[in-house]
Structure 1
Amino acid sequence: MSSVCFSPSSLPASFTLHDKFIGSDFFSGFDWKTFDDPTHGRVNYVDKPTSIATNLSYADNTKFFMRADAHQVVSANSRGRDSIRIESFSAYDQSVFILDVEHMPAGCATWPAFWSFSQSSPWPQGGEIDIIEGVNLNTNNLASLHTTPNCTMPEVRFQSGQTESTNCDTNFNYNQGCGTSFTQRSSYGFPFNSIGGAWYAMRRTQDTGIQVWYWPRNSWWVPLEVRYPFFFTHIGTESWGEPDASFPVKECDYSTHFDSHKIVFDLTFCGDWAGNVFASAGCGNSTCVDFVDNNPEKFQEAYWDINSLYVFKRV
Structure 2
Amino acid sequence: MRISQLLLPLSASVACVVGITNSSYTIADNYNSTNFFNEFNFFTGQDPTGGFVDYQGEAPANQSGLAGYSNGAIYLGVDHKTVNPAGGRNSVRVTSNKAYTKGLFIADIAHMPAGICGTWPAFWMFGPNWPNSGEIDIIEGVNMQASNSITLHTSEGCSLDGTGSVASSVLASTDCTGNNGCSFKTADPLNFGTGFNAAGGGVYAMDWTSSAIAVYFFPRTSIPADITAGTPNPSGWGMPLARFSGSGCDIDSHFMNQNIVFDTTFCGQWAGQVWSNSTCAALAPTCNAYVGQNPSAFAGAYWLVNYVKVFQNSGMAKRHLGYIRPKLTPYM
By the TM > 0.5 criterion, same fold?
Answer: yes
The secondary structure found in structure 2 opposite 1:158 is coil
Structure 2 counterpart of 1:67, from 64, 77, 80: 77
Cα distance, 1:280 vs structure 2: 2.0
- Residue 24 of structure 1 contacts residue 59 of structure 1 at CA under 8 Å; is this kept in 2? no
Aligned to 1:225: 226
Q: Residue deviations 1:238-261, cap 9 Å, x none?
A: 111100100114211012201121
Cα distance, 1:40 vs structure 2: 0.3
Matched, 1:253 2:260: no
Aligned to 1:134: 141
Matched, 1:275 2:276: no
Cα distance, 1:211 vs structure 2: 0.2
Q: Residue deviations 1:5-64, cap 9 Å, x none?
A: xxxxxxxx9320010011142110100010000000000000011100001001157211
- Residue 104 of structure 1 contacts residue 303 of structure 1 at CA under 8 Å; is this kept in 2? yes
- Residue 34 of structure 1 contacts residue 47 of structure 1 at CA under 8 Å; is this kept in 2? yes
CA distance in 2, matches of 1:281, 1:71: 25
> What's the Cα RMSD here?
1.4
Cα distance, 1:126 vs structure 2: 0.5
CA distance in 2, matches of 1:81, 1:273: 17
Aligned to 2:119: 110
Q: Residue deviations 1:183-236, cap 9 Å, x none?
A: 211211111101110110001011x220000011133xx32232333xx4xx43
CA distance in 1, matches of 2:38, 2:250: 34
Gaps of 5+ in 1: 1-12
| Shift in alpha-carbon separation, 1:303–1:60, aligned structure 2, 3 A | closer
CA distance in 1, matches of 2:229, 2:201: 16
Cα distance, 1:165 vs structure 2: 1.5
- Residue 284 of structure 2 contacts residue 290 of structure 2 at CA under 8 Å; is this kept in 1? no
| Shift in alpha-carbon separation, 1:228–1:183, aligned structure 2, 3 A | farther
Structure 2 counterpart of 1:211, from 205, 210, 214: 214
Cα distance, 1:163 vs structure 2: 1.2
Matched, 1:42 2:52: yes
Q: Percent identity?
A: 39
Structure 2 counterpart of 1:145, from 152, 172, 179: 152
Stretches of 4+ aligned residues off by more than 4 angstroms = none
Structure 2 counterpart of 1:159, from 162, 165, 170: 165
Aligned to 2:104: 96
CA distance in 2, matches of 1:205, 1:312: 12
- Residue 68 of structure 1 contacts residue 83 of structure 1 at CA under 8 Å; is this kept in 2? yes
| Shift in alpha-carbon separation, 1:75–1:238, aligned structure 2, 3 A | closer
Q: Residue deviations 1:114-164, cap 9 Å, x none?
A: 00011xx3111110000000000001101110000111122x511011112
CA distance in 2, matches of 1:237, 1:186: 20
When normalised by structure 2's length, the TM-score is 0.83
CA distance in 2, matches of 1:52, 1:295: 23
Structure 2 counterpart of 1:168, from 150, 167, 176: 176
CA distance in 2, matches of 1:270, 1:24: 33
CA distance in 2, matches of 1:268, 1:213: 24
| Shift in alpha-carbon separation, 1:285–1:74, aligned structure 2, 3 A | closer
Matched, 1:83 2:80: no
Structure 2 counterpart of 1:187, from 186, 191, 199: 191
CA distance in 1, matches of 2:101, 2:71: 29
Task: Give 1:248's aligned amino acid.
Answer: S
Gaps of 5+ in 2: 1-22, 315-332
- Residue 24 of structure 1 contacts residue 60 of structure 1 at CA under 8 Å; is this kept in 2? no
CA distance in 1, matches of 2:176, 2:100: 21
CA distance in 2, matches of 1:282, 1:193: 20
